[in-house]
Amino acid sequence: MLTKRIIPCLDIKDGRTVKGVNFVNIRDAGDPVELASAYARQGADELVFLDISATNEKRKTLAALVKDIARHINIPFTVGGGISSVDDVGPLLEAGADKVSINSSAVRRPELLDELANAFGTQCIVLAIDARKINNQWVVHTHGGKTSTDKKLFSWAKEGQERGAGEILFTSMDHDGTKSGFAIDPLEKLHNFLSIPVIASGGAGVMEHFTQAFVLGKADAALAASIFHFGEIAIPDLKKYLLNQGIITR
């Protein structure tokens, strides 16, 4: 088994880390710089930073905050929120981001993925897909899960790969914040369908859920937020647990 990655996710709103359930009922989870620094010290393999209000409020991700976080960590760092052009990405990479996450703007204009991959390389581009199961189909949503689209999870992920995304970050909106476990079936299907890494997101509640995501869902990485933010699972303990399960993390 290839090494797996544990990725804390910092959803940022108005400069604070927040967390909700099923993309609503948002509550404060702390200072993003302090959390990022703590996660780097604890052995997180990467971080994801999503400015969850950037797309809705038509403003760009806070480059100054990105810079501040990057100064405090020594692990790869993905930034997303409100990125809609090649011009938006340069300042974020200069501020210290290693990768950018694209969601709503890629659904609106898929050619953006081609443009970003050509400008910065596929290794820089993460296609984030938020999807919910409706009438037995995984339907892609945008704008922080508020807007349903005509795109379906698997065909959109495949198109994203073909256009130059280097990774897929799949969040099950049905599982998000519920702590009931990751969406295993679609994860496994994505793994079988794609040749690029898949990051599992939405539903982590106990350590066993990570084992399920890696072994059953074949995910390359697992992302979680509230269980880390609120101290329910410590990253060193999780990594020790996974090692005992025969799962090696970075």
Q: What amino acid positions are annotated as catalytic residues? A: 11, 130
Q: Any idea what the Cα angle at residue 29 is, between residues 208 and 52, rounded to 5°?
A: 95
Computed over its alpha carbons, how large is the radius of gyration of the chain? 16
Q: Which of 85, 110, 111 is nearest to 100 (CA)?
A: 85
Q: How many CB atoms lie within 10 A of CB 158?
A: 14
How far apart CA 18 and CA 233 sit, in angstroms, is: 17
- Check: CB of residue 79 under 8 Å from CB of residue 89: no
